[in-house]
Amino acid sequence: MNQIPKIDHTWTLFLDRDGVINQRNFEGYILQWPDFQFTEGLLDAASQIGRLFGNIFVVTNQQCIAKALLTEEELTIIHQQMCFSLAAHGLKIQEVKAAYEKKGAAPFRRKPNTAMALELKAKFPSIDFKKSIMVGDTDSDIQFGKALGMFTILVRSKEKTQLIPDLSIDCLADLPKYLL
């Protein structure tokens, strides 16, 4: 697919966190708010992105919880600060879903499994996966979106990927260029 159809407020945006919203730490995890750095240009583009979609969610794998590097409460604080900062710049995240288990471990909520999206759909029935976009930086993000019939956008990084998304961009801040 070369072009995403016209977006309006009936569309939903699903965002991965690390590498999309914040600079990804390829050597470890973001374990405290001072280590959380928004990706280039995101805060400047936040209001444009926020105006485009009716629903915006974050779906993130955070096995640092299962590895006991961070508590759920500490992760919640990071996510609250992230959402507060984005909202202050015009991008309101309705909810953050995080999968805490290690790769391959139960309860199998980690992307590419679709559990987090299905949980959000149960809570927000207006979500239409055919009118949704998944933005991520890994194959598991793209596989997650494709499994649900979403349009997929890959944020290019040093992460090695093999799956073909519907669109590739350099950073989330570039998203409005392709949708306006």
Identify the DSSP state of 22: B
Give whole-number Cα distances, 65 to 57, 62, 128, in Å. 20, 6, 30
DSSP state of 6: P
Question: Amino acid identity of 53?
Answer: F
**Among 18, 137, 141, 166, the one annotated catalytic:** 18
Task: Compute the distance between CA of residue 138 and CA of residue 103 in angstroms, rounded to an integer.
Answer: 14
What residues contact residue 155 under an 8 Å CB cut-off, 6+ apart? Answer: 19, 20, 39, 135, 136, 137, 168, 169, 170, 171, 172
Q: Give the span between the Cα atoms of 38 and 4, in whole angstroms.
A: 25
Q: Which residues pair with 152 in a beta bridge?
A: 134
Q: Is 16 a catalytic residue?
A: yes
The active-site residue out of 16, 137, 141, 166 is 16
Q: What is the dihedral of CA 1, 121, 83, 154, to 10 degrees?
A: -20
Active site residues per annotation: 16, 18
